[in-house]
Structure formats: structure tokens, C-alpha cells
Amino acid sequence: MGQGLKQNNLYLLGAPGAGKGTQAQQLSALLHIPQISTGDMLREVRSQGGELAATLSSLMDSGKLVPDGLVVDLVRKRLSRPDCQGGAIFDGFPRTDDQAKILDQLLVEQNRTPLKVVMIDVPVDELKRRLVDRLTCPNCNRSYHAVDYPPRIPYRCDVCGATLVTRSDDNLHTIEKRLEAYFRQTAPLINYYEKQKSLIRIDGSKKIPDVFASILSCL
């Protein structure tokens, strides 16, 4: 991996419901680099069944983080695929101090350009409002909102036509637990990346296209 190669390694940092997935999909389409969403990858592993799937379901449905080792293995494998040569958009990873250090190390080892970190800031009440009415495509992982951003045909994904679902962790009890995990384990990374001078904060409470424009203006 040559440093001369123009790469975008972008990390979208934000609480559950901040709009990381929504923005990552649009950025991926525009920049032609893949979205690496550990949440989507874990749901994919979970859908294959077996003992690991049961463990993942129990952790994810109670709003807890999955052990670092498992998540890091998934990211390491994903990052070795050829489509990541021009960079990647990290969505939901890293989420702990150890994950952040491992990603920094991986980027150095692979001679990749350092991360740009965009922190999408949204008030907690708005996060909850978004998540309780979210609809998700289980096929292409696109997010909708029943009120603000509904699909053109009720419960049908605009992109692939699959039937939309409510994620098993999008209920108020689990949302509270996910937010607790975010503030305890992930929000401290804001300080970590501020010290590295790689963090840019943007106002994520604006409309989706306005948030997208703010992110683009930082790149």
C-alpha cells in the first residue's frame, strides 16, 4: 500500500442514531470507497446462526459492545480486500480505546494515510426519536425513518425492494443501554482524537443533505 496513493480513511464517530450509516453510504457512493460498518458485519455473522450468533444476539440486544478481538478480526479481514486500496469509511469502529489504538497501528503497518475523524454531534432526545421510528433494510442496510424519511412505498426499500424491518435493538430499553455504552466506552475517543488533532465536529442535528454537505466541506 503506497503512501503516494491518494486515500481517504474516514471515521464517522457518533452515538447510536447520529446518522453514521446514512452518511457513510452516501460518502461511499461519492468517494468510491467502501463503508466498513462493524454493526452490519456483526448482524451478517449473526444471521448465519450457530453458537457465535447466539452470543452476538445476547450482547447486541442488550446494548452491550461485542469483545474487541472479534470486531478487530472482522475489520482486519475486510481491510485486506482490494476495494479498500483507495481507503475506507469506518462506521461504528473503533468504539473503545483498544480498538482505536489497534486501528492506528493497522493503518501505520499497512502504510495507509492517517484517519480523518468526523464527530457527528446530535442531542440525546433527538437520537432516541430517530431510533424508535427507524426502519432498516436487512438486505442493503439502508436506514429510513417512518416519519422524517419514509420509503416511497411503505415498508419497501427504495433501493433494493426488500421488506424493511425494525432492528431488534431499536426499542427504548436497548436504546438507553446502547447510549450508556456509547458515553462510557466510545465518547472518550473524542479526547483521544482531539489530542491527535484529527477530529472535526459537525452539527448532526441538521437535515441529512446539510449534514452531508458539512462532512464534505471537511474533507
Could you say which of 78, 116, 134, 142 is catalytic?
134
**Which residues would be at the binding site for ligand AP5 (CB under 6 A)?**
14, 16-22, 38-39, 42, 59-60, 63-66, 71, 92-93, 95, 99, 130, 134, 143-145, 148-149, 178, 204, 207-208, 211
Does 167 qualify as catalytic in the annotation? yes
Coil, helix or strand at residue 130: helix
Does 78 qualify as catalytic in the annotation? no
Least gap, CB of 112 to ligand AP5 (angstroms): 18
List the grid coordinates of 166: 425494525
Cβ proximity to ligand AP5: between 5 and 77 the closer is 77
Cβ proximity to ligand AP5: between 96 and 111 the closer is 96
CA distances in angstroms from 17 to 20, 124, 158, 179, listed in the order given? 7, 9, 20, 10
Q: Identify whether the C-beta of residue 167 lies closer than 8 Å to the C-beta of residue 138.
A: no
Q: Identify whether the C-beta of residue 94 lies closer than 8 Å to the C-beta of residue 11.
A: yes
Least gap, CB of 136 to ligand AP5 (angstroms): 7
Least gap, CB of 15 to ligand AP5 (angstroms): 7
Q: What length does the chain have?
A: 219
Does 134 qualify as catalytic in the annotation? yes
| Residue linked to cell 473503545 | 96
Angle at 101 between CA 100 and CA 106, to 5 degrees: 95
Cβ proximity to ligand AP5: between 89 and 111 the closer is 89
Selection from 11, 210, 38, 62 nearest residue 141 by Cα: 38
List the grid coordinates of 202: 459537525
Cβ proximity to ligand AP5: between 2 and 27 the closer is 27
Does 95 qualify as catalytic in the annotation? yes
Could you say which of 43, 46, 95, 142 is catalytic?
95
The residues, ordered by sequence, that sit 6+ positions from 16 with a Cβ below 8 Å of its Cβ are 127, 131, 175, 178, 179, 182
Least gap, CB of 72 to ligand AP5 (angstroms): 9
Does 77 qualify as catalytic in the annotation? no
Kindly list the catalytic residues: 20, 95, 134, 167, 178
